[in-house]
Structure 1
Amino acid sequence: MIDTVALPRPYQNYVYAYPHKTAYRPLTPRPAIADLWSGESTSTLSLYLHIPFCEVRCGFCNLFTRVGAPDGLTGRYLDALTRQAEAVRAALGDTEPVRFANAAFGGGTPTFLEAGELTRLCDIAEHVMGADLRAVPLSVEASPSTATADRLGVLAERGTTRLSLGVQSFIDEEARAAVRPQRRADVEAALGRIRDTDIPVLNIDLIYGIDGQTAASWRLSLDAALAWRPEEIYLYPLYVRPLTGLGRNVDPVAAEHDWDEQRLRRYEEGRDHLLAEGYTQVSMRMFRRLDAPPQGPDDYACQTDGMIGLGCGARSYTSGVHYSFDYAVAPREVRAIIDTYTATTDFTRAAYGRVIDGDEAERRYLLQSLLQADGFSVAEYRGLFGRDPRDGFSTELGSLAERGWLDDAGSDRLRLSPRGLAYSDAMGPEFFSPAVRAAMAAYEHR
């Protein structure tokens, strides 16, 4: 019966957060940050600092970032980041203890900053916000060309526990096809420098579905990554997004059936190879080495605990409101938003966001839990929301079961089958609320 069920396209929307920023709108009137956090638990928070600069913009990238930073822009950006951190820390107050359970520097490319600027970035997190970077997991994203010894030295000394390197492909021709000009020799040199540090967890990002990629070339990239015994490997399907480098060169109405099939095959090949090499699957994208060292205490739950995001591309989460700054992808729009951010002196109010009611909170919890390979406890879910997920989402979960995407729909633990994990990017959008769907559809890409 499963084989006769019509399946949706496998690659639709990567649900790394819900609701997506394209569902955010200007908040009117702009609420005070202090009011948004009043009454919220601050004992287990996540801290994220966003650096919106890269040395080159990859053809597949739709992140909030710009190429280069002329005329001292990084310094002005860090000045603004300091002002924002001071305002946010004051807004959190001292009535309840403020504790950060983990921290991350993302982008863009945080290691675009020079060593002295990375020291400033760590100081903002530690001395202004109060995060103990040497006592909690700290993850930092990097690119091969910016993973220099002096930058890595700062990060290692300040307590970085995880360094994520965006490689995408070890094949020079494939890297160029993805509009990511780099040489394998430079990638290997960067990996060597990272392994020379005391950073305990190395993650390597790879992409499948690149034009010209074959089963053989994909295996070559996988084996090249495995040669470094990374503690983590992320396998990302290639997406072509509006206003990205690749997006400008693709006919949006062209049939993509063959590409879907190719990506599914590469995914399965990559998954099976990593499992055979001693890795366990954490999600559709994430694989962790079975003997990888623990990163340290991490009692943060992304489904329920709050997050403080600093920087013009970061978002923050309270239980009732998700908020950020304006969002864009086109280079000119991004530059304008960054310029506005660096000129801002008053960071006491939230500008853009979305109110999260009980229904949206439930959808967010379900999505962020179900898309993990281990799934979630139905009993814990019932304790949080007062009902079984099968009662609230019977149609959606029934469809997953009919397609064979649930491992055991009758157990107390709801988890995806291996085929369900493969279709994670098709499954996520099915749980979006009508209101979020409408807001995303109405969003004007710029």
Structure 2
Amino acid sequence: MTRTTPPTRATRTTRPAGTPRPYRSYVYAYPHKTAYRPLSERAPLAALWADEPKDALSLYAHIPFCEVRCGFCNLFTRIGAPGELTTRYLDALDRQAAAVREALGDAAPVRFATAAFGGGTPTYLTAAELERLCDIAERRMGADLRAVPLSVETSPATATADRLAVLAERGATRLSIGVQSFVEAEARAAVRPQRRADVEAALGRIRDTGVPVLNIDLIYGIDGQTEESWRRSLDAALHWEPEELYLYPLYVRPLTGLGRQAPGQDADREWDEQRLRLYRYGRDHLLARGYTQVSMRMFRRTDAPALGPDDHACQTDGMIGLGCGARSYTSRLHYSFDYAVGMREIRSIIDAYTGTADFSRAEVGRWTDADEARRRHLLQSLLQAQGMETADYAARFGTSPFADFPAELARFEALGWLDGDAPGGLLRLSPEGLAHSDGLGPELFSPAVRAAMAAYEAK
């Protein structure tokens, strides 16, 4: 069994009483799906989207299959796809796309400004199945994949030449590969079996496609990882001159491989300090090598090409999610399908999805009100390194974030998390504020969302 006790190299640091832990929750969307619930009345999609702006939508297709499940992964994905499961899944995705496009109607312009295929691992699909996925996005939904930024996730084992060729030809502008560590012992500790030679070969094939943006995901906080081994992974990634790098802190969540082996590890303060130390080392290493920090996790090469005319704003524009793990956003309702982490439950949800004939209504989600809209806007703006123009907030909501969230912003300021040197009218995090994004974000969750998340029973 892989040892997963927290590293002991870190020196314990005493934090002021009441300071949020730095690694509480990865806030990539608000509210989290654990706050979603089955809707008492299944909402017709046509009514939900009737009055929504539809001229700068985001399209996301979720493929819930992987060749192996990493020990840290709590994403909605299953290992393998027996029989004709991928065919049945794409059949269902096609039915869902047809129903959603009909619900969007033609009374107002419908345009997709950005698109992404995620998972799971979209390149688990064969080259022919990827062609079909692109056809669904284009012919059913009306997305022009060659005219908008299209991001696709892949893995070392599935980044084959034929699959990558399909994606490049169909308009992919960004390929993101999860490497996590170039040190084989660390990959094994994270329950991610891979050989470095296979990783390097996959990166070579990605570069051969000519797709303009390569992103490499790396993880820090793995058992046994040190500044020296972390630097080796960073430098191995930098050898490929990726346009983007994402640095993720390791989390151990319930029902994951690591979570079953080491319950309670996520509460260890020494591990927090180790992750913070490695984060700062990685951040400084990339900044010194020509990268700009976009968020706590994202770093972009200063000379990287623009992905295209992306005019979608996650704070204000709608999102269409296709697939059983995808979310969709309107101004009033965030909705999806049921959510699980355990493999048995995931298999059951996928089977139910592939057997669904009627996709015309939302079944699971969370209604939003004006307060939640303000929280989401502030959260998703503040966690970006560029910050938020308070004038934009005022134009949308008719008020000030300092009036709406006085206690929270005062606390962030007292902790040194706000940038006191930001230009007038710009609310921006300090470097330490960015470092504590995963502690800061949950502080902005509403009491109702916190209660719903706390009441959620993991399955």
TM range (shorter): over 0.9
User: Are 1:412 and 2:425 an aligned pair?
Assistant: yes
Deviation of residue 177 (structure 1)? 0.6
1:240-255 counterparts in 2 under 5 A? Answer: 240-252=252-264
Corresponding residue for 1:116? 128
User: Are 1:92 and 2:104 an aligned pair?
Assistant: yes
User: Are 1:297 and 2:327 an aligned pair?
Assistant: no
Deviation of residue 411 (structure 1)? 2.9
Provide the rounded CA distance (Å) in 2 between the counterparts of 1:38 and 1:357.
18
Shift in alpha-carbon separation, 1:36–1:163, aligned structure 2, 3 A: same
Corresponding residue for 2:273? 261
User: Are 1:399 and 2:411 an aligned pair?
Assistant: yes
Corresponding residue for 1:308? 320
1:29-178 counterparts in 2 under 5 A? Answer: 29-178=41-190
User: Are 1:444 and 2:457 an aligned pair?
Assistant: yes
Deviation of residue 5 (structure 1)? 6.6
Corresponding residue for 2:10? none
Shift in alpha-carbon separation, 1:401–1:410, aligned structure 2, 3 A: farther
Corresponding residue for 1:23? 35
Provide the rounded CA distance (Å) in 2 between the counterparts of 1:114 and 1:233.
26
Contact 1:43 1:98 in 2 (8 A): yes
- Could you report, residue by residue, the CA deviation over 1:389-439 in whole angstroms, capped at 9, with x for unpaired residues? 011100000000000000027831000000000000000010000100000
1:415-430 counterparts in 2 under 5 A? Answer: 415-430=428-443
Provide the rounded CA distance (Å) in 2 between the counterparts of 1:305 and 1:30.
23
Deviation of residue 288 (structure 1)? 0.1
Contiguous gaps of at least 5 residues in structure 2: 1-14
User: Are 1:274 and 2:286 an aligned pair?
Assistant: yes
Provide the rounded CA distance (Å) in 1 between the counterparts of 2:253 and 2:397.
35
- Could you report, residue by residue, the CA deviation over 1:311-331 in whole angstroms, capped at 9, with x for unpaired residues? 000000001000000000000
Provide the rounded CA distance (Å) in 2 between the counterparts of 1:193 and 1:167.
14
Deviation of residue 4 (structure 1)? 5.4
Contiguous gaps of at least 5 residues in structure 1: none
Deviation of residue 7 (structure 1)? 2.2
User: Are 1:386 and 2:434 an aligned pair?
Assistant: no
- Could you report, residue by residue, the CA deviation over 1:92-133 in whole angstroms, capped at 9, with x for unpaired residues? 010001000000000000000000000000000011100000
Shift in alpha-carbon separation, 1:15–1:4, aligned structure 2, 3 A: closer
Contact 2:252 2:266 in 1 (8 A): no
Provide the rounded CA distance (Å) in 2 between the counterparts of 1:271 and 1:5.
27
1:171-250 counterparts in 2 under 5 A? Answer: 171-250=183-262
The letter for the 2-side match of 1:419 is E
- Could you report, residue by residue, the CA deviation over 1:45-92 in whole angstroms, capped at 9, with x for unpaired residues? 000000000000000000000000000100000000000000000010
SS at structure 2 position matched to 1:16: coil
The letter for the 1-side match of 2:434 is L
TM-score for the superposition, normalised by structure 1:
0.98
Provide the rounded CA distance (Å) in 1 between the counterparts of 2:275 and 2:142.
43
State how many pairs are aligned.
445
More displaced stretch, 244-253 vs 231-240: 244-253
More displaced stretch, 400-409 vs 239-248: 400-409
Contact 1:80 1:343 in 2 (8 A): yes
User: Are 1:433 and 2:449 an aligned pair?
Assistant: no
The letter for the 1-side match of 2:332 is G
The letter for the 2-side match of 1:98 is V
User: Are 1:345 and 2:396 an aligned pair?
Assistant: no
SS at structure 1 position matched to 2:157: helix
Provide the rounded CA distance (Å) in 2 between the counterparts of 1:314 and 1:16.
13
Deviation of residue 255 (structure 1)? 5.3
Provide the rounded CA distance (Å) in 1 between the counterparts of 2:345 and 2:152.
26
Root-mean-square deviation (Å): 1.2
SS at structure 2 position matched to 1:292: coil
Deviation of residue 251 (structure 1)? 3.1
The letter for the 2-side match of 1:290 is T
Provide the rounded CA distance (Å) in 2 between the counterparts of 1:281 and 1:214.
22
Provide the rounded CA distance (Å) in 1 between the counterparts of 2:199 and 2:256.
24
* Percent identical: 73
Provide the rounded CA distance (Å) in 1 between the counterparts of 2:266 and 2:227.
23
The letter for the 1-side match of 2:223 is D
SS at structure 1 position matched to 2:418: coil
Corresponding residue for 1:318? 330
